[in-house]
Amino acid sequence: MAPTFFHELVKNRRSIRRYLEKPVEREKIQACLEAAQLAPSAENVQPWRFLVVDDPGVKERFAAEAFSGIYHFSRFAAKAPVLVVILAQLDFIANRLGRQIQGVPFYLIDIGIAGTHLVLQAEELGLGTCWIGWFNQRKTRKFFRIPRKYKIVCLLAIGYPASRPPREKKRRRLEEIAWFNRLEE
């Protein structure tokens, strides 16, 4: 089967940790947010919320808090022109029931899908992204005065890539991770 545009987009997307000192146009950020908004979610509750930090002064002060102490390994993200705090609104009955009955926090699946939409749109627009899970959540909550009804899930760094990691992604063979009609190990 011939590679499609989508296949090439997914294949080329990389986690970018070095960014150009070039602001990201609001129109491009908006397009990424619109792509995330179109994601499916359990019972269509759309639990995602996005706090976009693109003001250089605010971003610098926030990054100093979020990436301090044991979180300094993520300080590369402070150089990205945009940081997005990805939140989940947890006061939806579908989230509570899903976790109690199925044992699955569906909001995390929903956030993952929406975030993937966002990063793939960014890739198509020539932007680089990197998911950030290692940051100070307590200081993030305090810095932005985020109410408890929101769970801080992750950060997303966005900007124009200064460089791209090598093209080849090390992945398991498809036969090791996918089966048809029965589990084979």
- Structural tokens at position 26: 């609001």
Encode pLDDT of 33-46 as tens digits.
Answer: 999 999 999 889 99
Query: For residue 96, what pLDDT is reported?
Result: 66
* Fold (topology level) of 17-160: NADH Oxidase (3.40.109)
Predicted confidence (pLDDT) at residue 144 exceeds the cutoff of 70: yes
Query: For residue 92, what pLDDT is reported?
Result: 64
Closest residue by Cα to residue 52 from 68, 33, 35, 39: 33
Written as one string, the DSSP assignment of the chain is: -PPPHHHHHHHH--B---B-S-PPPHHHHHHHHHHHHT---GGG---EEEEEE--HHHHHHHHHHHT-GGGGGGGGGGGSSEEEEEEEE---HHHHHIIIIIS--HHHHHHHHHHHHHHHHHHHTT-EEEEE--S-HHHHHHHHT--TTEEEEEEEEEE-BS----SPPP---HHHH--SSS---
Predicted confidence (pLDDT) at residue 26 exceeds the cutoff of 70: yes
- Any idea which residue has 């909550």 for tokens? 141
Averaged confidence pLDDT in the chain: 92
Torsion (CA) 106, 108, 114, 116 in degrees, nearest 10: -130
Encode pLDDT of 56-89 as tens digits.
Answer: 999 999 999 999 999 999 999 999 999 999 999 9
| Angle, CA of 82, 160 and 118, to the nearest 5° | 60
Mean pLDDT for 160-181 is: 84
Question: What interhelical angle do 106-124 and 5-12 show, nearest 10?
Answer: 100
For residues 154 and 98, which has the higher predicted lDDT (pLDDT)? 154
Query: For residue 94, what pLDDT is reported?
Result: 64
pTM: 0.91
Query: For residue 104, what pLDDT is reported?
Result: 75
Encode pLDDT of 91-132 as tens digits.
Answer: 666 666 666 777 778 889 999 999 999 999 999 999 999 999
Query: For residue 179, what pLDDT is reported?
Result: 87
The domain spans of the chain are 17-160
Mean pLDDT for 49-60 is: 98
State the amino acid at position 168 in one-letter form: E
Encode pLDDT of 165-175 as tens digits.
Answer: 666 778 888 88
The C-alpha atoms of residue 16 and residue 27 are separated, in whole angstroms, by 21
